[in-house]
Each structure stands twice: as C-alpha cells, then as structure tokens.
C-alpha cells in the first residue's frame, strides 16, 4: 500500500531552511534563547538561527545543549539502568509510559546522547492537537516530530492509522531513525500507567505474517520512566475532578502549550529511565500464536504494563501517599517522619489553590503517587491490602 507522508512526516533540511526566517522573527524563541544564552539580542537570535545549515547540526549544537540545561535546572538527578540492552547500531521503537508531554522523550534523547558512541536523536510521535501554534509546530517537526492525527471524522480515522503505521515501519525498517512513542494517547494523569490496545493494533496494520513476525520487525523496546515530582499535578487534578464529576473537560486555547512549558521547566525531582529488552520474535511467540488477535494484543499490553509496573522507580513520597490513603504505616520503614511531614505540607500548600471539594482533590493527589506502588506490588506475591 502506497501512502503520501508529507502531511505527517518530520522536516528535512530543505524544510528547515524554509522555516528559518519565520523562527528567527518569533518573539517566544527570543525568550527561549535568552534562557539558554542570557543577554542575547533579537538581532543575535536571527544570526544564531541562520547559522545552522542542517537539522543534525541544529540538534547537536543547540537542542541537546538546551535539554541538558533544562535537565540541570529542573531535576535533582537523572539516572538510568538497562542501557546495556541497546545495540548502538540498531534502530528501536522506544515504547514508554507517558507522564510529561515534552520531557519524556527529551530526557530519553539526553540519556542516549550520554551513552551511545554516535548519537542520533529519535523521531517522535506527537499528537497534532499539541501543535496548534505555528512556530511550535515548526520547531517540533524540525526536531523529528511526526504527527499523530487526532479528532478526525470516524471515516478518516482508519486510513490515518494505517498511514501512521506504514510511516513508522518505513522509518524503522529503512534504519533511518529510532522512534519514541508513548504507550497510550495522552499523559497518564492518575499515576496508573496502562498501555492502549489501539496503539498495538495500529502498529500491526502495516505488517504481514504472524503476530510475532509483524511486531518483531519494529524492534520494540519498552522503557519505564519514573518521576519523583509532577510539575503539572494541579493541572491534572483539575481535569480529573471535572471528569469524575460527570462533566466534559474542555481545554483552554493555551492549555496544551502551558502544560508543555510547565512540564519542561517545573521541578521534577529525581528521574529514572529503565530500558527493557527488545521484544524479539522469540519473546512475542510466548504470546500464544493460536489465540485470537485481540487476545494477543491484550496479552502484549499486559506484558508492557507489567514491565512498567515492576521497573518503575518508587520514591519516598510514593510510599507516603500509599500509607496516607490506606490509613496505615505499612511502608513507614521506607521513609522518614520528616519526609512525611514535608510531603503533607507541600500537598496542603498545592491543594490550597483548588476551589472544589478539598477531600476529593486530596484523594486524586495521593493516588497520583500511590497508584505506582499498588501497580508494582500487583506484579508479585505480597500481603499488602490496598484500599484504593
């Protein structure tokens, strides 16, 4: 099947040169560059933007250094494990849980940059709903973002999914780039990471043969991402409360941009990336080939979820939130009294901004931190009783 990918593909060098004049005049980019290089003038910004001739040069000279500064300013540390599972010359489909619109993949690329002998940034699957501002769309597509089309009429959804599937397979099988994609549409807002079956079905649309052969061609490698803090927690609480109240949540015109900015610059505490093993044909064969396709998809989603749950790095506040929800001290040996007091004070300070039912807001806040604990223990035998 032949598709035209022009509407969704990321930019090439020619596209980059075509949009440089527009970027050079963008006031917000001036502010971004002032963060990166304090004191830079608008005229110097133009010279800076036009100094790059290729996207690779732009990314290696500027973007990766900008990410490094954001990581330094907004995290206490970034650690990683399982990096030995990566073969330097191989292209992977990095499939991760999704907590932060921009930084999930930005920090993934930062880790790869620090560890691979020859760095090439991943291509990035991103919802086109996040790119309503023209200069943001340009900047995203310069940085190898390709578009996942949202809010299409029902009759167009299937063809869009097929085109996306073929594009992803083309990029990987041609060994043009590795790819990052989230395991679900939209960020996990309640701390309960769950892989969407629709994503796996989309990936299979462009392949042939057995389920195991189809997906092994994509070199899927799951990655578990753990954040100590969520800088968008209050935004997420507002959305979850609206939905729990039976109302439809309607985003404001700048809400996605504000979430992206807060997620980038807000304090994330400690962050950890754990790289799993590639889902080879042999691993995928363990998902029984003699069962209906829908069950194979469900089994694979469960496999990815168990991986994320078991490899999620739990911090003190995860255990504190669990004990507060359970009204217990089951995990008190894993945190200090001072840490618990500081957590409660921070929670109360944050929730003072909330205008609706404080108890519901508190429960939502605590579950954001406690659900990863509950999920972690769901992967093993244990004697803990969770009341949420």
- Residue 254, helix vs strand vs coil: coil
Surface-to-core class of residue 188, CB atoms within 10 Å of its CB (0-12 exposed, 13-18 middle, 19+ buried): buried
Q: Would you state the pLDDT for residue 246?
A: 87
Let me know: does 96 contact 195? Beta carbons within 8 Å. no
pTM: 0.96
Per-residue pLDDT of 269-304, as tens digits, reads: 999 999 999 999 999 998 877 899 999 999 999 999
Alpha carbon 322 to chain centroid, angstroms? 24
Give residue 2's pLDDT. Answer: 86
Give the integer Cα–Cα distance in Å for 52 and 62. Answer: 9
How far separated are the first and last CA of the chain, in Å rounded?
47
- Under 8 Å between Cβ of 102 and 136: no
Cα angle: 205, vertex 105, 163; to 5 degrees = 20
Q: How far apart are CA 154 and CA 299, in angstroms?
A: 27
SS3 365: helix
pLDDT one-digit tens code per residue, 188-230: 999 999 999 999 999 999 999 999 999 999 999 999 999 999 9
Task: Enter the tokens of residue 36.
Answer: 């990166």
What is the model's pLDDT at position 51? 97
Token pair belonging to 341: 């007091």
Is residue 226 within 8 Å of 313, Cβ to Cβ?
yes
Q: Provide the 10 A C-beta neighbour count for residue 99.
A: 23
What pLDDT score was predicted for residue 357?
84
d(CA 341, CA 226): 23
CA atoms of 295 and 177, how far apart (whole Å): 30
Q: Where are the domains of the chain?
A: 75-311, 316-377
Residue 31 burial (10 A CB sphere; 0-12, 13-18, 19+):
exposed
Full strand arrangement of the beta sheet holding 179-182:
77-81, 270-275, 220-227, 93-96, 179-182, 123-127, 145-148
Assign domain 75-311 one CATH number from 3.40.1130, 4.10.51, 1.20.1420, 1.10.150. 3.40.1130
Name, in order, each residue with C-beta under 8 angstroms of 102's C-beta and a sequence gap of 6 or more: 260, 263, 264
Which residue intervals of the chain are DSSP H helices? 13-24, 27-36, 42-50, 55-58, 64-74, 103-115, 134-142, 154-173, 197-204, 211-216, 233-244, 255-265, 281-285, 293-311, 316-326, 337-351, 358-377
CA dihedral 249→254→257→258, nearest 10 degrees, is -80
- Which residues of the chain fall below pLDDT 50? none
What's residue 258's pLDDT? 93
């Amino acid at each position: 099947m032949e598709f035209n990918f022009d509407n969704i593909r990321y930019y090439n060098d020619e596209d980059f040169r075509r949009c440089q004049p527009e970027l050079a005049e963008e006031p917000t980019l001036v502010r971004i560059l002032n963060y990166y290089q304090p004191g830079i003038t608008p005229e110097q910004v133009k010279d800076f933007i036009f100094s790059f001739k290729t996207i690779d040069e732009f990314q290696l000279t500027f973007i990766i250094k900008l990410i490094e500064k954001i990581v330094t300013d907004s995290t206490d540390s970034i650690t990683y494990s399982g990096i030995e599972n990566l073969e330097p010359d191989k292209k992977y489909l990095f499939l991760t849980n999704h907590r932060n619109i921009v930084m999930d993949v930005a920090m993934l690329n930062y880790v790869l940059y620090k560890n691979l002998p020859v760095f090439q940034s991943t291509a990035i699957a991103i919802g086109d709903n996040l790119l309503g501002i023209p200069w943001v769309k340009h900047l995203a597509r310069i940085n190898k973002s390709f578009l996942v089309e949202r809010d299409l009429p029902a009759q167009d959804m299937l063809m869009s999914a097929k085109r996306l599937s073929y594009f992803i397979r083309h990029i990987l099988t041609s060994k043009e780039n590795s790819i990052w994609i989230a395991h679900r549409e939209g960020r996990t807002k309640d701390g309960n990471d769950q892989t969407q079956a629709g994503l796996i079905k989309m990936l299979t649309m462009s392949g042939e043969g057995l389920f195991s052969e189809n997906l092994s061609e994509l070199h899927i490698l799951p990655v578990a991402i753990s954040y100590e803090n969520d800088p968008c927690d209050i935004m997420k609480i507002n959305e979850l409360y609206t939905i729990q109240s039976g109302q439809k949540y309607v985003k404001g015109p700048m809400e996605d941009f504000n979430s992206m900015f807060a997620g980038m610059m807000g304090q994330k505490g400690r962050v950890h990336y754990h790289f799993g093993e590639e889902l080879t044909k042999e691993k995928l064969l363990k998902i029984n080939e003699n069962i209906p396709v829908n069950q194979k998809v469900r089994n694979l989603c469960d496999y990815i979820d168990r991986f994320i749950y078991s490899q999620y790095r739990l911090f003190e506040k995860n255990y504190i939130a669990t004990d507060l929800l359970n009204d217990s001290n089951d995990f008190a040996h894993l945190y200090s009294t001072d840490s618990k007091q500081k957590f409660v004070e921070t929670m109360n300070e944050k929730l003072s901004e909330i205008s609706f039912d404080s108890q519901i807001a508190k429960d939502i806040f605590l579950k954001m931190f406690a659900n990863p604990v509950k999920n972690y223990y769901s992967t093993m035998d244990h004697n803990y009783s969770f009341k949420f």
